[in-house]
Structure 1
Amino acid sequence: MSDATTEPIAFPFPDPPSVCDLPPELAEVRDGRSVAEVRFPDGITGYLVTKHADVRKVLVDSRFSSKVMASAAAAMSETETGKLMNESLVGMDAPEHTRLRKLVSRGFTARRVESLRPRVRELVAELLDEMETKPRPVDLVKNFSLPLPVRVVCELLGVPAEDQDTFHAWSNALLGDWQQVVEKEAATVALVKYFGELLEAKRKAPADDLMSALIAAREDDDTLTEREIIALCIGILSAGHETTANQISMFLVQLLRHPEQFAALKADPAALPQAVDELLRYVPLTTTGGIIPRLTTAEVELGNGEVLPAGAVVLPAVATANRDPEVFEDGERLDLTRAVNPHLAFGAGIHYCLGAQLARIELQEALGALLERMPQVRLAVPESELRLKPASIIRGLESLPITW
């Protein structure tokens, strides 16, 4: 356990000067103590875990509970948003999680996801066609990075084309500024109602989409309830929209920061899948460097001998784990040719990202098309003028003006 005389560190750490960099304090913790007691803005204390082996343990060891954290959050709120948090896959432990994930996997198959690639390619082309008609510079975030994942999720779930603009507006409200509580709750209520009505329509007239597949999913005599399907659909939207949208823009900025590697990738598009995985490792997904906290249900010892007490809030810092020099050679350097890459960008264990393969497809197709159609793409403003979205846990740019 940490030295009782050591004061908890204020967390999250201040933003670094550049939107592309991690707070240096994260690496200092990883390369020093590796586990730090921190104090969150609400006054609660917890532990920041930073090394790859320890972060992976937090993600896979059942003594680090997601359900307890989600239940505590839901208990503080009678809102639809709070209830859904408690009903989502990310807020469950085994055996509830095992049952639900098994049923979901019946519909969300690798074949179904891969079959979306040609349609993703078409959607990418449509958005780039629209961009090319606009005066330059063009904001990549507004015109490409944000709309693409929403259109893909709509295609996946079977949301009719005429509803997609409204759906997009709800999605933006749901995943925007975390301080806009009223707007988020209104969007959640609207989405629950919308998916409930869509579910009834799919029951009467099934189609070749994920919602229809979830309705039909069966394991022995077990099926998904209406509420479970609705929570899953909103979870897929939440997990697959903001994250992928922000990664498209942030990945491009990093490629422009490394012109030699960018040029090599343009010369060898077949290397794109490996390059995307390296960008997933290197580019932090969240502003804090960590992902969803866990709560210890028992005393747990980590690799450095640090003992975390039962009932402790634990934040796994995936961003620093993904650069751990004990696992990644020259881990602080972007290397698009990196062959061995056991990154944790999609998590690990039972909560490994359900949409990991879909995210890879979107990122590969988006970056591949940008490289092919706009090989001279470049920032239209100095990097120092780029700004992260305020009050957002997911690390993303407010805008990304580009020209080509």
Structure 2
Amino acid sequence: MSSHVLQYDLKEQLGFSQKYYDTRSTHLVRVETDDGIVGWGECFGPGTIAVANATIVEKVIAPMIVGMNALEREVVWHCVYNGLRDHARGGMPIQALSGIDIALWDIAGKAAGLPLHQLVGGQFRERVPVYGYGMMLQRVDDLAARFRDEAQQIKAAGFVATKMKIGLGVKQDVKLVESVREAIGPDMGLMVDANHCYTTEEAFRVGRELERLDVNWFEEPVAPEDHAGYRYLTTHLDVSISGGEAEFTRWGWRNLLEKRALDIAQPEVCALGGVSEYLKVLAMAHAHFVPVVNHVWGSAVAVAANLHLLTAMPDLPGGAHPASPMLEFDTTDNRFLEELLEVPLDIRGQVAADGCAAPPTGPGLGIAINEEFMRHFEIDR
């Protein structure tokens, strides 16, 4: 079992409400069985977080599970969770476990000769609509103009909807959303992500403006710990409130869902505990009749895993004309989406055809890592 942290310098800084960064990074996990089957996974977290998670994978978790049966994913998962329970019921150790669990599902698919979506129950849809995530904060003179140009490019590329960042303050943020809505017109879906930068009172004021601008959802408006704030916003705003990327395991999600604190759940499979835990969270969300639109951030490994999971997601609540979940796709500078795989996913090419994308057809995740590319961008730790 090994960790691989890849990184390169961005041409210009990108930011969200909490920070700006000038490098792109990703953390991959490689697991190999005694029979020579190799599985790949990904752990959520950039930069120094990725480096720390890589150490957790190799120095903390690997000694606990090397030698166990790779096909006994639940046994492995609970061995790690119970072994770390006093220290790591969430956060970085669960992110590290997530990458290992995804790799074990990749191995299971390869051993069975089946793609991930068949392992978890089969496809409810062959293709998934894709929305383009972009318009990150940048230190430029006219950010509204930059956002307008980027939004128009995302629309022209064929994405069914788009998502933007905010976090500069209530008035300035509303102006940014107005500029993007004007650029894409009234008919394209628009989502707004605050990355938990507001108080509940501020989020309420922004939310009222987002209602006027016909925004699909208002993502992470307040701190992930503020369940009461989420509950207030879902109750008092008409715009849908989404979140959950910073929530871990079925137990964390149980608290969020039982409080009816979200209109849309956004689990992050590379963070909450991997595919094994994601399936439990999905079932629990649907049991509460809360729709799920996966949070997706990282490399082509994460995108491939999510494509499988989204095609295999049951319709909610079900009917002759169900609404499909969407795939989130990062349209900003990300070579780990475009060049990491031997055979690229070609999300942009698929989107240009019909606004949708399909998962790979091979066993497991259905992908092969370009290991020469990986070695070129791997950093020393």
Same fold (TM over 0.5): no
Structure with bigger strand share is 2
Larger CA Rg, structure 1 vs 2: 1
TM-score after normalising by structure 2: 0.29
TM-score after normalising by structure 1: 0.28
